Amino acid sequence: MKKEHTTKNPLKKLSLQWRLTLIITLLMTVTCVLMYFFISNSAVTGIENLGDYVVKINETDSTPITFNINPNTLFAGLSDQVQETKDLFRTRSIIATAIIILLSSVGTYFISRRALLPLRRLSNEVNKIEAQNLSESLEVPDTNDEISRLTGSFNKMLSRLDDAFTAQKQFSASAAHELRTPLAVMQTNLEVFARKKTPTIEEYQEIFGMIQNQTERLSHLSEVLLDMTGIQSVERSDFISLAELTDEVCCDLASIADQKKVELIQEEGDCTVTGSYLLLYRAVYNLVENAIKYNHSGGKVTVKISQKKDLPAAHSKPADYALVEVTDTGIGISPEFQEKIFDPFFRVDKSRSRAMGGAGLGLALVNEIARQHGGQVKVLASSEQGSTIALVLPI
């Protein structure tokens, strides 16, 4: 197998200061050499073009009298002196050019060193940043130059990374807690069951039922976690009729609604959006399922699809958006919880959520799906008579 040999640029191994010095030195050298040749040739040509005649003007007559005289006949050794003068001029020009280039190079080195000092300080500060101190911003120089703008951009990136790391830590801690709870329940019950010498059939059935319930809970939690981690890789190029998608969701949830004695209503209206059918199906499914779960017996869940010119809240650029509004007649959501319900593992009523088999990830998954499609999910209205949650998607 032949090895590929790639030509590497040796300048890339040098520091930015040395690269600037070498580049400016090269430019100075080319400039000085060109100036040397231009000035030297001009001076030498001027010396060589000295006149070989003397003109005498008659004061009484306007006609000049010209004498063609060779200067060498008048001044012995003049040509040698001219040649020496030209050689001396060239020598001094070369020495002066070399000195100018040398002084310019040294000056460039130290000036670039001073100019790059803020960048060197920034590099040292960046090297000190670790995962534990992402919240500490770098000091922005009060110069309004490229270094200042670079530092400001870096601080913004640090802030985004800090938010992402914090969310990741919270998500990992919450996921670990959710996974540990059913495992702890099973372990405790199995330890108690193991102490029994002659367990009855009812006790066997009870322990098997408990294990089955906790296993289902773990399985559901792991499926939701996998769904959340795989959202970004799903292709989003389907043309989707939201009315047909909602109709399929309502059909799939009809049995759960019947058990809860909740009426499902889909109002007339449709919009076509581009995205992933599977993901948007999951988003609408979770919204409707939540509305059924936290509804009163005999209540209603209404799904309305409409098209708006702008987001429900203030938005900078007017555009067409599709709204899937899910309205229930349930228990409502307190104002302080209306934004938090879309956070992973958040529950308004933890005991009730656990009793219903919830993992606190349903609305968080809806929020992530909406974000991946360039939209959002939010609570439009909520009271003791029920809530309205809207899935907003760009058309």
Average pLDDT, the chain: 78
Say if CB 110 and CB 38 are below 8 A apart: no
* CA 347 – CA 326 distance, rounded (Å): 19
| Domains identified in the chain and CATH numbers | 14-115 (no CATH), 236-394 (3.30.565.10)
Q: What is the pLDDT of residues 262-313, one digit of tens each?
A: 999 999 999 999 998 988 998 999 999 989 988 888 999 999 999 887 655 5
Which residues on adjacent β-strands are paired with residue 388? Answer: 327, 381
pLDDT reported for residue 272: 92
pLDDT number for residue 305: 94
Do residues 323 and 310 lie in contact, with contact meaning Cβ atoms separated by under 8 Å? Answer: no
Whole-structure pTM value: 0.56
CA distances from 112 to 13, 23, 30, 142 (A): 18, 12, 20, 20
- CB count within 10 Å of CB 367 equals 21
**Higher confidence at residue 355 or residue 39?**
39
pLDDT for 330 equals 87
Q: Amino acid letter at 326?
A: V
Predicted pLDDT at 393:
92
Residue range 131-148: average pLDDT? 76
Cα distances (angstroms) measured from residue 92 to each of 40, 43, 135, 258: 10, 13, 61, 104
Question: Phi and psi at residue 285, in whole multiples of 5°?
Answer: -60, -45
**Structure token pair of residue 237:** 């190029």
- pLDDT at residue 347 greater than cutoff 90: no
> Closest Cα to residue 70, out of 62, 79, 58?
79
Distance CA 43, CA 38 (A): 9
Residue 105 C-alpha from the chain's centroid = 40
Q: Residue 55 phi/psi, 5° resolution?
A: -110, 130
Please give the residue that has the higher pLDDT: either 266 or 38: 266
For residue 2, what pLDDT band results from cuts at 50, 70 and 90?
very low
Q: Are 275 and 393 in contact (CB under 8 A)?
A: yes
Instruction: Report pLDDT digits (tens) over 48-72.
Output: 555 544 455 555 556 665 555 555 5
How far separated are the first and last CA of the chain, in Å rounded?
A: 53
Say whether pLDDT at 102 is over 50: yes
Top mean pLDDT of 59-73, 83-97, 209-223 is at 209-223
Residue 315: pLDDT band (50, 70, 90) is: very low
**Beta-sheet pairing, 238-241 with 376-383:** unpaired
